Amino acid sequence: MNLFNQNNTYNYELEKLCRIFLPFEKIIFTEQPTESDVYAHTRLTKSDSRTQLYSFLKFYTQTAEFVDFVENDAEDYYKECERVLAIQLFKCFVAVTGYVSPWGILTGVRPAKLYSALCKKGGKNYARSFFKEKFLVSDKKIELCEKTYEREGEITSQSEKDSFSLYVSIPFCPTRCSYCSFVSHSVEMAKKLIPEYLEKLIDEIVITAQIARTNNLKLRSVYIGGGTPTTLSAEQLERLMKVISENFDIEGKEYTVEAGRPDTITEEKLRVIKENGATRISINPQTMNDEVLNVIGRKHTSDDTVNAFLLARKLGFDNINMDLIAGLPSDTFESFCGTVERVTALKPDSVTVHSLALKRASNLNSENIPRFESGVTASKMVDFAYDFLSQHGITPYYMYRQSKTVGNNENVGYATAFKESFYNVYIMDETHTILACGASAVTKLRQPGGSYIERIFNYKYPYEYINNFNEILSRKDRITAFYDEYRI
Ligand code: SF4
């Protein structure tokens, strides 16, 4: 797609707007009108008292255009012009594709946070009409924002100035899912690194605990995620979890292990997880349609998921989450509904519904890349999940959005009462510091009593993590320096 923004500097925002409709298209900025199959032109023309805003879109054989005016003395003139051009382009896309994105022109990651800020500024009605009229957000998504922001608020209010959560990364999986951009291509090669990786990880955890003690930080929650942590053997898991319980005060704290793929779950591993302090696990079917599982490269069946879930219940896990994905290749609306119904029948404590995000590094090639039809279907899927789960007492409590999702939808955590994942809320809301260990982990330092955030990145891949371990440890010095600087 060619995009010509004339007399304005809104490239960043208008590109994001186009990505709502064309998430996988290369967008080229041009310095003059340069026609292509998909071509947009925006123009800002300022006269004495007002500014004319113009947008034009050519989409293969169809075209659409809009003209509006903004007074030159309008409040927040620069932002207002940007918003109006975004609305114009949005309407152009709707006119030629017929697809009305439910989030309107909102492209941010945390709509509930923005909604909450508007509520604080002018109350609920103000926030509601702002979302509806200024951003063209649908009523259903506004309702979702309201529900999540209220429930998130109850959780974040329990965090204190010296709170932190611990994240531990196990970036290994038995095989690679076709839509994954996270783990390295050579899963088999990577697995050979597990023993060495674990040694380094344990060292990092011990040092991180010392740093937490030095800074008088109080643990709130623990999350072992991945990848698939249950790729580790039962012995490896036990060693890892013992190091965590010996070095951190996990007593009475939320402690999640993302068991993840059912093909890695065994009774022995579940026992280890339970006996070593985990209070919550996640068993992630993604879909209960075996054909779709095959298409996305997951080597387990829906029955494996059911068996893993029932086994976990038998062993006493009373807080089990299940992850689903809307918009998977080859999945249909009917099949997705079947997935939601079958998962709900198991009575999980929480369900997280992700919208498929297609990243460049995934194995899905351009032929698999969904276009509008799949976007419309994915939107119907997430709406169905919202309605069905809510009817069954599994209601939304946190939400975030990612770029390049099929249908420009959101990811929503649903939970029954008192079974929310606090960690998920803390990380998304950036409520408090997250001390993170392992490859691809990112420590986020939050200023106590303030809003400044600083990040410390670990190396992404296990081999990089192992080879640069001393560098990773030296970066951790910044944690104490940060608290010295910002402690109240
Ligand atoms: S389980 Fe998750 S991290 Fe592992 S390959 Fe699949 S999508 Fe990637």
pLDDT of the chain, 488 residues: tens digit per residue: 999 999 999 999 999 999 888 877 889 999 988 888 999 999 999 999 999 999 999 999 999 999 999 999 999 999 999 999 999 999 999 999 888 889 999 988 889 889 989 999 999 999 999 999 999 999 999 999 999 998 999 999 999 999 999 999 999 998 888 888 776 556 677 889 999 999 999 999 999 999 999 999 999 999 999 899 999 999 999 999 999 999 999 999 999 999 989 999 999 999 999 999 999 999 999 999 999 999 998 889 999 999 999 999 999 999 999 999 999 988 999 999 999 999 999 999 999 999 988 776 666 654 555 555 677 888 999 999 999 999 999 999 999 998 878 878 899 999 999 999 999 999 999 999 999 999 999 999 999 999 999 999 999 999 999 999 999 999 999 999 999 999 87
CATH class (in words) of the domain with range 2-97? alpha beta
State residue 45 phi and psi, 5-degree precision: -125, 110
For residue 466, the Cα-to-chain-centroid distance in whole angstroms is 27
Residue spans of the domains in the chain: they are: 2-97, 111-151, 158-475
Matching CATH topology for 2-97 and 158-475? Answer: no
Cα distance between residue 329 and residue 101, in whole Å? 20
- CB-ligand 1 contact for 354 (6 Å cutoff): no
Q: State if residue 176 touches ligand 1 by the CB under 6 angstroms criterion.
A: yes
In angstroms, the CA 462 to CA 170 distance is 9
* Region of 232 on the Ramachandran plot (φ > 0 left; ψ -120 to 50 alpha; else beta): beta
* Sheet with 28-29, edge to edge strand ranges: 28-29, 2-6, 38-46, 50-59, 62-71
**Binding site membership of 285 for ligand 1 (Cβ less than 6 Å):** no
Query: Cα of 383 to ligand 1 centre, how many Å?
Result: 25
Distance CA 177, CA 143 (A): 33
Q: How far is CA 110 from CA 42, 220, 333, 412, 426, in A?
A: 27, 22, 26, 11, 13
In the reported structure, the alpha carbon of residue 154 is separated from the centroid of ligand 1 by a whole-number distance in angstroms of 31
Taking CA atoms only, the protein residue closest to ligand 1 atom 5 is 176
Asked if residue 260 has its Cβ within 6 Å of ligand 1, the reply is yes
pTM of the model: 0.91
Please work out whether the CB of residue 177 comes within 6 Å of at least one atom of ligand 1: yes
CB under 8 Å to 470, separation ≥6 — which residues? none
Distance (angstroms) between ligand 1 centre and the Cα of 158 equals 32
- Can you say how many angstroms the Cα of residue 459 is from the centroid of all Cα atoms in its chain? 20
**Measured from the CB, is residue 261 less than 6 Å from ligand 1?**
yes
CA of 396 to the centre of ligand 1 (A): 24
In whole angstroms, give the CA distance from residue 295 to residue 332: 13
Cα of 360 vs centre of ligand 1, distance in Å, is 15
DSSP string computed for 288-324: S-HHHHHHTT----HHHHHHHHHHHHHTT---EEEEE
Tokens representing residue 90 in the block? 């949005």
Give the Cα separation of 383 and 336 in Å (integer): 11
Pick 158-475's CATH classification: 3.80.30.20, 3.40.720.10, 3.40.1160.10, 3.40.50.300: 3.80.30.20
**Residue 387 burial (CB count, 10 A):** 12
Residues paired with 254 in a beta bridge: 221
